[in-house]
Amino acid sequence: MNVLIVKLSSLGDVIQTMPVVADVLSAYPEAKIDWVVEESFAPLVARVQGVRHVIPIALRRWRKTWFSRTTQHERRAFKKILHATTYDVIIDCQGLIKSALVARMASLASEGLRGSFANKSEACSYEWPVKFLLKNNQTMPARIHAVARTRLLASKLLGYVPQGAPRTVFKDLPPRDPASHTIMLTHGTTRLDNEWPRHQWEDLSALLTEHQSHRILLPQSNARELDLCQSVKARIPRDAEILPRMGLPELLDVMATCHGVIGVDSGLSHLAVALNLPHVQIFSQDRAWRAGPVGSSHQVALGGTYTPSVEDVQQAWMKVETAR
């Protein structure tokens, strides 16, 4: 059975869709799973155990030069790759017009199923024209966690019941040192309203290193994030390392060796959840119920309706690092 997942973006949403792969293979071990995703996330999706082919799409880049000769050539090449396999089930896990159109473009077996969400769920992406673009759309609860929503969609289309907690398995991870005391602080976010104040990152880092002997890793992908990293390192120069900018697969490998992660509501924090690391996720908006970690005592969400203090985060960290 050939299955196509269409989940284009963004990073956090892509990561929270990954448990669907393990679910499908648990129900149908012989299934061959392909995935259409934005080109920048393709190398990370390729690391998921059970994904046969990753089909990159460049909608974000193509929008700027839609009618250029180069873009038209790339679009034709993408369509050719998408038509190379006939799928028994095509799952639009995004529920947007753009993802539904991609799902429509793929080749479907004569008795195959192609579907998406039939309705909007609270705080989840959905565009109503999808109901007219795809058949076999599945009704979702009005309020449901993002991971559970996608798992439920796939299970309804393929006819199985999801079992257990969500699980993502990555290929070729480096071994994790059980004695590691390294914590990665995933402070960066594309949304400024998701940030946690800089002075609190500085104070937290000082507490973690001075009283708990942790070493701090600081990823950064732009000048604003680098500035915060430098501010933290100035506070604890011997115990903090600013990571160079790196691709998602390389960052996955670095994170996988860490003792745990503390971060804001961002794609990298969702990656920590997928790696099953001890994790404290700091929310600035009331969406932890939809996007926060679930089903594990060593992963917790803080905030949403309030701004967590440094003491709140430190105490939560002390609990999760001993709970695993």
Range of the domain at 49: 2-158
Q: Answer with the one of 158, 193, 226 that is the final residue of a domain.
A: 158
Per-residue pLDDT at 295: 84
Kind of pairing between the strands at 107-115 and 86-92: parallel
Do 199 and 306 lie in one domain? The reply is: yes
Looking at the fold, whether 275 and 211 belong to one and the same domain comes out as: yes
Same domain, 15 and 134: yes
Are both 292 and 236 inside the same structural domain?
Answer: yes
Beta strand 86-92 with 51-57 is unpaired
Asked if the structure places residue 207 within a domain, the reply is yes
DSSP 309: -
Same domain, 193 and 269: yes
Closest CA to 186 of 173, 169, 201: 201
Q: Same structural domain for residues 62 and 146?
A: yes
Whole-number pLDDT of residue 23: 98
**Does 176 fall in a domain?**
no
The pLDDT score that the predictor gives to residue 212 is: 83
In a domain, 177, yes or no: no
For residues 153 and 188, membership in a common domain is answered with no
Model pLDDT, residue 5: 99
Same domain, 6 and 141: yes
Please say which residue of 124, 158, 192 terminates a domain.
Answer: 158
Q: Are residues 86 and 225 in the same domain?
A: no
> E strand or H helix at 113, and its extent?
strand 107-115
Per-residue tens of pLDDT for the chain, all 324 residues: 999 999 999 999 999 999 999 999 999 999 999 999 999 999 999 999 999 999 999 999 999 999 999 999 999 999 999 999 999 999 999 999 999 999 999 999 999 999 999 999 999 999 999 999 999 999 999 999 999 999 999 999 999 999 999 999 999 999 988 889 999 999 999 888 899 999 999 999 999 999 889 999 999 999 999 999 999 999 999 999 999 999 999 999 999 999 999 999 999 999 999 999 999 999 999 999 999 998 889 999 999 999 999 999 999 999 999 987
Q: Quick check: is 144 in a domain?
A: yes
| d(C-alpha 241, C-alpha 233), whole Å | 7
Do 151 and 239 have their domain in common? no
- To 5 degrees, how large is the angle CA 90–CA 249–CA 219? 125
Domains in the chain, number: 2
Annotate 250-307 with DSSP letters as a single string.
HHHHHHHTSSEEEEESSHHHHHHHHTT--EEEEESSS-HHHHS--S-TTEEEEESSS-
CATH code for position 218: 3.40.50.2000
Say if residue 151 is in the same domain as residue 16: yes
Q: Do 219 and 89 share a structural domain?
A: no
Flag whether the pTM goes above 0.95: yes
